[in-house]
A and B are shown apart, each in its own frame.
Chain A
Amino acid sequence: MMRMLKTMPPTAILGVLVIAAYAVIALFAPLLAPHAEAQIVGAQFEPWSAAYPLGTDTLGRDMLSRLIWGARNTVGVALVTTALAFGIGAIAGLLAAALGGWADLALSRLVDVLMAVPALILTLLALSALGPGVANLVVVVAILDSTRVFRLARATAMNVMVMDYVEAAQLRGEGTWWIISREVLPNISAPLIAEFGLRFCFVFLTISALSFLGLGLPPPMADWGAMVRDNAALITFGDITPLLPAACIAVLTVSVNFVVDWMLHRASGLKD
């Protein structure tokens, strides 16, 4: 562990620190935030002051508190969505690689169809049909995102399936589940974990974009994407407050990418 830290490039260390800070803020949001999430504490659009360090929003809610709550909501929902996307995509991809034949064909073509339609349009359609709500949002985004995980999991698993140790397990009489979980999965975990980081960024951005469009997390939940939209009017007055949630999104995305770059590099086995 210490050796790993020593070989980490500075960008990756910065990324890890930022991610850790976000995690702390998200976990301890109720303790850290001076006010409740939806509590109206003052007038609309109050400027930065001692009472409200970042001013108030369109409804008079404390900006700082909502940023802190937003870390919990936006990051939490993105994390759950990515995990679900990985669960669906990785299992389907591994099954396709292990079973081959018809199962592979059916799953792969289904994924092709889903990928053929632009993801954002499909998401908007599905969410309009199902109605907004956290559960719908998570399920729709996860299913659409799992297609890319499926492709990666299937391709990397195919390379492992032809190894002699998999044949040895097949000859032993092991079932599909054992082969997938014990023989194949540990050997493709490095690229999958790296992909998890990247997917998390995309899911996070998608959810922020949907919130900005009004189809994301339902109000009054604090959400960084929606916060940009709600306070966008302030930009015309030269106030940078509406850009703060956008900055939160950007900083987290860049940090995750720093870490993922480093992990991909390690997984590739390149020395330089």
Chain B
Amino acid sequence: MLLNIEKLKIEARGEEGWTPILHGVDLQVAKGEVVGLIGESGAGKSTLGLAALGFAQGGLRFAGGRVIFDGTDLLQLPERQRRAFRGRRVAYVAQSAAASFNPAWRLLDQFCEGPAIHHTAGRAESEAFARQLYAAMHLPDPENFGLRFPHQVSGGQLQRAMVAMAMACKPDLIVFDEPTTALDVTTQIGVLAAIRQAVETTGTAAIYITHDLAVVAQMADRIKVMRHGREVEDAPTRRMIEAPAQDYTRSLWAVREFRRPPRALPQASAPTISIRGVTAGYSALDVLSEVSFDIPRGATVAVVGESGSGKSTTARAITGLLPPRAGHVALNGTPLPPRLAQRTLEQKRAVQMIYQMADTALNPRQTIRQILSRPLQFYLGLTGRARETRLNELMEQIELEPARFLDRLPGELSGGQKQRIGIARALAADPEFIICDEVTSALDQLVAEGILRLLSKVQDETGVSYMFITHDIATVRAIADEVVVMKGGRVMDKGLRSEVLDPPRHAYTRELLASVPQMDPDWLTRRIAEGAA
């Protein structure tokens, strides 16, 4: 057994002393084995992954148990000797490569740092090894790739460079902490293939931490499901996917099955929003070129595409934050003034927005009551008892108890509850159209599903139209009536969901769909064989 974590307890410092966040967790990793750790946020998976390096983050402490790496209990060693293990025997790949690389150093210099510190290889030797790894990971121009600075390469390339760097000292174990979560699906597949290949060719063991079940199914030999700092279930990948033993695991597996029942859209004369030939951008650069599509009344239109495709810029053009250079946006057939400042209160009220990060979308110094009361008063002039009644209605609509939540601050709510408040704030304006900008991508899958169900219910009740910006095809399949596919600021394809997606009509849509990981553990193998990565 390469790594044997026994009854590990870790505590976090809080207002009232130390509270446990890992309650005696076991984890075994054999030589060459890949173990997947999954669970919602706060499950303790990252804490457990870092514990494999004998490391606890600031504000955390080891409170019991053992971390035995190749016969040595890391927790008994002094910090100096523990450091000798890190990078040399156990390496770590972080979620955000952009935040983990030193922007002032070339990639190759950062690669050679580990071998130099641990005296495992000379400069020339590790440079040669770096080039070999860069080539194996299909990085462009592997001979000179390392001479670039971190900002000169794309996000996916940087993440692959970090995987290469983790292998610089030929470690026995690599901990991957959500290495592809921040990437687009089309980029993710390349990184997944690179990680898979690196692990297979070198025989390195790995701990792969993620909240994406389909990804872990591709990467891991064995999966451990965690929740609230405890193990829920531990089984080989195939058995875990085909026959999960615990209810919680089954509920995780079932999330992706949410489908909104098909429905007939009300026939209306004019679409709620129509975008006609909109070209917009920043300074001299056009981010959008001649974008045109409609949002029919009461419909959900999903706008999909990778980052940089212009999805969010389209939203800014609609709201008037970024006036288009050409073209226009019409509300109910009447063109909207391009600038927000020129629009009437009524026009502003009709178009509302829900943000991706509920943390930054709610003012941390205002109570939920203040946050929701303002649009009621500002747009509808509600005060006193009428406002209080409407507040209670809104809270019930988003399924949060008014008495419990109205006087709390956003910091006292969970991520999903905050997002519900974001929805309520948009609904408070009694809008005709809501832009949902990646509203579920920062949430755990179970919580995200709840938000999608809520948004569908609200639409059925109020007949509001949604523009749903997302890069997640599963979300599109779950709730969209129509789909707009964007790439490079242009509309690639648009139409009813079934027309655009089943089967994919446009070549780019095909690529996008083929890049979405499936629960089938053989999916990545097949995709690599097809030459996708």
The residues of A with any CB-CB pair to B shorter than 8 Å are 163-165, 167-168, 170-174, 182-183, 186-187, 271
> Hey, which chain B residues are within 8 Å of A186, CB to CB?
363, 365-366
Give the one of A164, A170, A174, A183 with max B CB within 10 A.
A164
Separation in Å of the A179 CB from the closest CB of chain B?
11
Residue ID in chain A nearest B426 by CB atoms? A168
From the candidates A170, A171, A187, A271, name the one contacting B363 in the complex (CB within 8 A): A187
A168 and B378 form a contact (CB under 8 A): no
Would you call B29 an interface residue if the criterion is a C-beta within 8 Å of the partner chain's C-beta atoms?
no
> Hey, which chain A residues are within 8 Å of B343, CB to CB?
173
**CB-CB under 8 A for A171 and B360, given A271-B13, A271-B59:** no
> Hey, which chain A residues are within 8 Å of B379, CB to CB?
172
**CB-CB under 8 A for A168 and B355, given A173-B345, A186-B365:** yes
The residues of B with any CB-CB pair to A shorter than 8 Å are 13, 58-59, 319, 321, 340, 343, 345, 348, 351-353, 355, 357, 360-366, 374-375, 378-379, 425, 429
B360 and A165 form a contact (CB under 8 A): yes
A172 and B375 form a contact (CB under 8 A): yes
What is the predominant secondary structure among interface residues of chain B facing chain A? mixed
B362 and A165 form a contact (CB under 8 A): yes
> Hey, which chain B residues are within 8 Å of A168, CB to CB?
353, 355, 361, 425
Closest 9 CB pairs of A and B: A186-B365, A164-B361, A165-B363, A173-B348, A164-B355, A164-B360, A163-B360, A171-B319, A165-B361
Separation in Å of the B430 CB from the closest CB of chain A?
13
Q: Give 24 CB contacts A-B under 8 Å.
A: A163-B363, A164-B355, A164-B357, A164-B361, A165-B360, A165-B361, A165-B362, A168-B353, A168-B361, A168-B425, A171-B340, A171-B352, A171-B353, A173-B340, A173-B378, A182-B363, A182-B366, A183-B363, A186-B363, A186-B365, A186-B366, A187-B363, A271-B13, A271-B59
> Hey, which chain A residues are within 8 Å of B357, CB to CB?
164
B363 and A167 form a contact (CB under 8 A): no
Q: Besides the contacts A165-B362, A174-B378, what 12 more A-B pairs have beta carbons closer than 8 Å? A: A164-B357, A164-B361, A165-B360, A168-B355, A168-B425, A170-B321, A171-B351, A172-B375, A172-B429, A173-B345, A173-B348, A187-B363
From the candidates A163, A170, A187, A271, name the one contacting B340 in the complex (CB within 8 A): A170
A271 to B61 Cα, complex, angstroms: 14
> Hey, which chain B residues are within 8 Å of A165, CB to CB?
360-363
A271 to B364 Cα, complex, angstroms: 20
Separation in Å of the B352 CB from the closest CB of chain A?
8
A171 to B363 Cα, complex, angstroms: 15
> Hey, which chain B residues are within 8 Å of A167, CB to CB?
321
From the candidates A171, A172, A183, A271, name the one contacting B321 in the complex (CB within 8 A): A171
> Hey, which chain A residues are within 8 Å of B351, CB to CB?
171
A236 to B343 Cα, complex, angstroms: 76
A171 and B365 form a contact (CB under 8 A): no
Residue ID in chain A nearest B437 by CB atoms? A164
